[in-house]
Structure 1
């Protein structure tokens, strides 16, 4: 299922007088009953609460007094795009859904975001296979009894997507909650100015920070690679090292296809120069073998026209 979308992305305060002796980690955030109506095909949210969508088929009277069922954009795929704070994951519960399989209706939970057939986090960087990241479901009314159980999903990062295709009529109610995690790996940035941390926590994995806009990036501090690399302090040409920090951009979400502006490794506590990435998506990617505790902090801000003077990468349109 694919969604073609164009968009611009422009804490829960927890207080308690006493804690019970045992409490599940995913109960730390209280239930919310805020109700939101989904009216746009492309709906982006960072708010918890219940989200409701309902579609009814339009009936147009004809000259012969017979009613004609109007089907507009019957195969259009829409999506509820959810984004949280960098150190959160998303809990998404489909409380109720009336999506008829027989009429071509379909829903899908995506662990991450999908745009134009590309995914965040990238297919090669995520620890789950795509077949395990995309879960499709609908109502089979030929089955008896009709089964419409609640669907419960959790994302692996601060981005998740609920896609839906409803040709005639249908509805659903979904609840969204956010939960803190201690070791975030992939982060989708929605603030136009932010200081982001990225680390492998000793694991063999690639982690990414992606901003959905042209951005300037500067390294604030860095600790990537072994002792022999760190003796060189900071190195902006590390393509031959397995452990490195890559900075670049793409026209889409897939990080493996990004054009690289620089590949950095070594050690520094001093902020480096800004480099402007004029691409649809700006990405910082930490590549780690698992042999070292790699970490970095980067400052990201939305690039302006004046930043063309420090541009290190301009992607083709």
Structure 2
């Protein structure tokens, strides 16, 4: 996994191993990959693929329901004369290059750049603890912050499904629970699972409403992967501000626990 800009290259020593080059930037960055050289023949199964997102163990982030592009547009394969376009730009702060290069001496060379993104939606966090504000910027889109650790979450402020695009003033409702079950189109989920795909994660709790000083107990997700996911209809300016810290740092009685690690 790399998080630094610069020039990278790979020259095969032979063999059929499938390798992955995982790239990650800061939350407010996207990744630009420029191909300088490409020499991978299609013989013996040689192949290079680019993914707009990340994949591990067959699970992809962002999931298909949470990404503006189809999987056909996000996942491209290349070999022989079918070379990658000069530049590839991701939709979020993570991207992946997968490759299998059986022929010795063949390979590729790239330049990686990180570009500022003013309205981030889907994010993989580089940090295990900190504070983050997830927003939909008034758009119809599902946005997630994915953590590669068990995490404890404390909501500092919530405005989901309340502040309309033409709203002038709103009264605080407090935090409303089970919004998805009640049929609300806008809500925030706290999810846990063993992989990256948010569509198959276990929902610990979902909330909506307007509360500038909520008293919600910490939500503790003791899974390998923890996610805060915001579902938005596009009718509201949604945002949730929360503190996150590693599960080992904070264990409180009465908080939700799922996928507890031994």
2:14 is the counterpart of 1:80: no
Q: Determine helix, strand or coil for the equivalent of 1:304.
A: helix
Per-residue CA distance 1:69-119 (angstroms, 9 max, x = gap): xx4xx1x21111000010110001121121111121100110000111111
Output aligned runs, 1:172-191, within 5 Å: 172-191=108-127
Partner of 1:315: 259
Question: For this pair of structures, how many residues does the alignment match?
Answer: 252
Matched, 1:287 2:262: no
Counterpart mapping for 1:271-282 below 5 A:
272-282=216-226
Moved more, 127-136 or 295-304: 295-304
Query: Is the CA contact 2:190–2:219 (under 8 Å) kept in the aligned structure 1?
Result: no
- 1:297-308 map, 5 Å: 297-304=241-248, 307=251
Residue 155 of structure 1 pairs with residue 90 of structure 2: yes
Q: 1:29-79 deviations in whole A, cap 9, x for unaligned? A: xxxxxxxxxxxxxxx01000001111123xxxxxxxxxxxxx4xx1x2111
Aligned to 1:204: 140
Cα distance in structure 1, aligned partners of 2:249 and 2:133: 26
Compute the TM-score of the two structures, normalised by the length of structure 2.
0.89
- When normalised by structure 1's length, the TM-score is 0.74
Contact 2:154–2:219 (8 Å) recurs in 1: yes
Name the SS for the 2:68 alignment partner. Answer: coil
Partners of 2:234 and 2:206 lie apart in 1 by 18
CA contact (8 A) 1:224 1:245 kept: yes
Taking only aligned residues, the RMSD between alpha carbons, in angstroms, comes to 2.1
Q: Which has the higher contact order (CA 8 A, sep 6+)?
A: 2
Find the partner of 1:224 among 147, 160, 163.
Answer: 160
Is 1:252 aligned to residue 233 of structure 2?
A: no
Question: Could you say what secondary structure the match of 2:32 adopts?
Answer: strand
Change (3 A) 1:230 1:204: farther
Over residues 164-190 of structure 1, what are the superposed CA-to-partner deviations in whole Å (9 max), with x where a residue is unaligned?
Answer: 111232221111001111111001011
Counterpart in 2 of 1:138? 79
Deviates more, 1:269-278 or 1:97-106: 269-278
Q: Does 1:195 align with 2:152?
A: no
2:73 counterpart SS class: helix
- Structure 1: 5+ residue stretches without partners: 1-43, 58-70, 141-146
Judge conservation of contact 1:210–1:281 (CA < 8 Å) in 2.
yes
Change (3 A) 1:180 1:310: farther
Look up the SS of the partner of 1:103 in the other structure: helix
- Whole-Å Cα distance in 2 between the matches of residues 139 and 227 of structure 1? 52
